[in-house]
Structure 1
Amino acid sequence: MPPAYHPSRAPSAKAVQEGVKKAATEAKLTGGLEMSTVRHSDHGPGSYFVCLRQTGPSAGGRPAYSVFFDNDEYKGIQSSVLSEACEAESLVPLK
């Protein structure tokens, strides 16, 4: 018999912090960062994601990224797409 399907769960706060830091390094983001709350995704490399963006005086022109997770596992970062609505999301500073 095939193994039973177990849907992914949202990542823990610690996993999000670690994943976002790893993603920022991969994307070569420097300085302050801000991110959204965890949201479910129906596309991309993971079942959950957070929006990520650099902060600073010219933050308005900086692109947003989506950081993906399955459970507590970081799955990757990519430029945010329109359907993720990261530009409209309320972001908070990453601590």
Structure 2
Amino acid sequence: MKVVLRSTSLKAKSPKRAFYNLAIIKITDGYLVRKESGAGSKVLHREAWFRETHEEASKLYEKILREKTNPKRRSPRKYIVVSQNSGSLSCSL
């Protein structure tokens, strides 16, 4: 069973309503930091990074979150946090 330990949803003020979802997921052998991004209600890209420890996964999660929400980032898409959850939620990937 996979357990979502933390998740954040971001939105950008963009004509296509860009979004970015980020999560830390506990799996048997370690942790996944998983992202989904897209526009409107359509997921256009999924990616996941494996980390052996929760600390390593949290560091990557925080780094990505900082980069996406940095108001001085070079990209024209400036993301804001619309929801955050922490705790244990079961999921099927």
Same fold (TM over 0.5): no
- Please state which structure has a larger fraction of its residues in strand: 2
Task: Give the TM-score taking structure 2 as reference length.
Answer: 0.39
Comparing both chains, which one has the higher relative contact order based on Cα–Cα distances under 8 Å and sequence gaps of 6 or more? 2
More helix by share: 1
TM-score relative to the length of structure 1: 0.39
